[in-house]
Amino acid sequence: MHRGGVSEVMIETKDLHRSYRIGKKSIEVLHGIDLQIWKGEKVFLCGPSGAGKTTLLYTLAGLERPEQGEVRINGTDLYRLGRKQQAEFRNRSIGYIFQNYHLLPELTAVENVCVPGAIAGQDQIEAALSALERVGLKDRADHLPSELSGGEQQRVAIARAIVNQPAVLFADEPTGNLDSNTSKEIMDILMELADNKGVTLVVVTHDQRLAKIGDRTLIIKDGTIDSAT
């Protein structure tokens, strides 16, 4: 048995490599990462800027393809799926929260939350309103992003990420642009989702004090897992 009595592997990587080309030069960002994250676990990825935290998160979530290695989500080998199958799997099983919200400015809060359902060809207005209610924003459903505070926009982004009830939720510096009180509110929402809904949560943060509220902290340094606590 593992931490919290959880024994089922939700996320697994093997020999994960990812690099970028700058001109004629290739810079390797991930250096053969092996990783296991358990179902329902709350894991925080920390480390200095440029260490590879966000690249690892993007690769785990199917947003950036590795040059080498495997990523398995709940037993599914993400990068062996065809493009359409992978998009469907991500839409069904994975939620992603960006630091800068990535809301569509011309859509209202509830319309932004409906986007994953629209991609899946589903009418999700009721599910979207329910998701907004879970993050305390149902009364702001008809507001545009420009009419919302930064914290409210991040709540809409969380609602959009959870509307399809994903098994895994990835968050890239979800409190990076917020004040300390709003940051606590956002993290409380994410912790509640993990604790009460069994969502596996993987969060990138530069704040190691914040990371202490999780089950495990992984320190990423020079594209490898330097240590774990």
Total residues found in the chain within this entry: 229
All domains of the chain, ordered by start, with CATH? 3-103+161-228 (3.40.50.300)
CA distances from 8 to 3, 12, 200 (A): 11, 11, 11
As a 3-state breakdown, the chain gives helix, strand, coil percent values, each rounded to 5, of 40, 30, 35
Q: Going residue by residue through the chain, which has 229 residues, state the pLDDT in tens, using 9 for 90 and above.
A: 344 444 599 999 999 999 988 888 888 899 999 999 999 999 999 998 889 999 999 999 999 999 999 999 999 999 999 999 998 999 889 999 998 899 999 999 999 999 887 765 566 888 999 999 999 999 999 999 999 999 999 999 999 999 989 999 999 999 888 888 888 899 999 999 889 889 999 999 988 888 889 999 999 998 999 877 7
- Give the pTM: 0.91
